[in-house]
Amino acid sequence: MENIPYIRPEKLKELTANRKQEFSALFKKLKKKKPKNLDDVVQDLHNEAFDQFDCLTCANCCSTISPIVTDKDIERLANT
């Protein structure tokens, strides 16, 4: 198993805040024209982010924020 460096949640907030404008621009662009492969794009970004840290060493998000499941998600999951 690859040794993934641990990033403290406080440091992650700082890293995110430093790139807030970049993220805002990305979200604005995505809202204007969603690519057909948006799920793939987001999955790639997710994988890239989680290559940088192991959230299981903290799991603070998972313990404080419940997942959001929409009616569309339920329908999509029921069809699989």
Angle at 38 between CA 36 and CA 39, to 5 degrees: 120
Share of the chain above pLDDT 90, in %: 0
pTM: 0.37
| Total domains in the fold of the chain | 1
Say if 32 falls within a structural domain.
yes
Say if 15 falls within a structural domain.
yes
Average predicted confidence (pLDDT) for the chain: 79
At residue 56, the 3 state secondary structure works out as helix
Say if 45 falls within a structural domain.
yes
Say if 23 falls within a structural domain.
yes
Say if 1 falls within a structural domain.
no
Indicate whether 19 pLDDT > 80. yes
Helix (H) or strand (E) holding 20: helix 20-32
Full domain range(s) for residue 46: 9-78
